[in-house]
Amino acid sequence: MGTAADLAASVRERGPAVVLTGAGMSTESGIPDFRSATGIWAEVDPFEVASIDAFLRDPLRVWRWYGKRIGGLLAAAPNAGHEALAALERAGHVRAVVTQNIDLLHTRAGSGDVVEVHGSIRRFPCLACGAEESLEAVLAQLETREAPLCPSCGAILKPGVVMFGELLPPAAMERAERLARETRLLLVVGSSLQVWPVAGLPGETLRAGGALAIVNLEETPYDAEAAVLVRGPSGSMLAEVVRLLGLGSLRNDVTASS
């Protein structure tokens, strides 16, 4: 089993890395994952509150769930892992972060190049007329109503996340695939690599001759093909990589090591 020192050596030798992050990246910020025994889908049927069919059928019901979820995401703070990736990017060790997460924590931590392949809570489109509303404007509306309305046509806005039954944003997915093919090191953090098509990105890297490093608490389908495999919390592992590469300490070092 690999260590933070092995990760640091791989980043130093093969970087700048492209990073792929999943729900496990944000659980250390207090955001539940989806598929574990205590995850979000253990409590609610995703096809009732998080599918495009559910939204088209009853958008108000979807918003009764999503409105509370957005509040929880915004209450969370970036953890040491998020801050470490931002520090690695500033130092030239990370080229871009491809994330399955919708919570904006990478951007809030300071990462500059973030590819949101599952969408995010950044913007909210109107399916009726094509207009979009910002997070700030939607939050203002949610103070007085259960669902935000399009300022152009009055229809209920859709959360800007990829729902079950929807395709991933083509431009974001195309860039993610290109980054995966071009990088010499794909660093996977907190992803089970079970959800397609994002789960295919490590294969793109390997076929192009790049290497794979994985930091995850549980097994993934690519463990046997990883050059470095680390079982451990992403926050403390990535904070240690930052230290080993001589980039100083992070604000959340204490949190990461606790």
Catalytic residues: 118
Residue bearing tokens 């910002």: 134
Q: Which residues pair with 114 in a beta bridge?
A: 97
Buried b (16+ CB within 10 A) or exposed e, 149-161: ebeeeeebbbbbb
Q: Which residues contact 63 (CB under 8 A, 6 or more apart)?
A: 146, 147, 148, 156, 159
- Phi then psi for residue 214, to 5 deg, are -125, 130
DSSP symbol at 220 = -
CA distance 218 to 239: 20
Which residues 6+ apart lie within 8 Å of 148 measured at CB? Answer: 63, 124, 133, 137, 138, 141, 142, 156, 157
The amino acid at residue 161 is V
Straight-line distance from the first to the last Cα atom of the chain, in angstroms, rounded to the nearest whole number: 22
- Whether 206 contacts 221, CB under 8 Å: no
Show Cβ contacts of residue 187 under 8 Å, excluding neighbours closer than 6 positions.
7, 10, 11, 17, 18, 19, 20, 94, 213, 214, 215
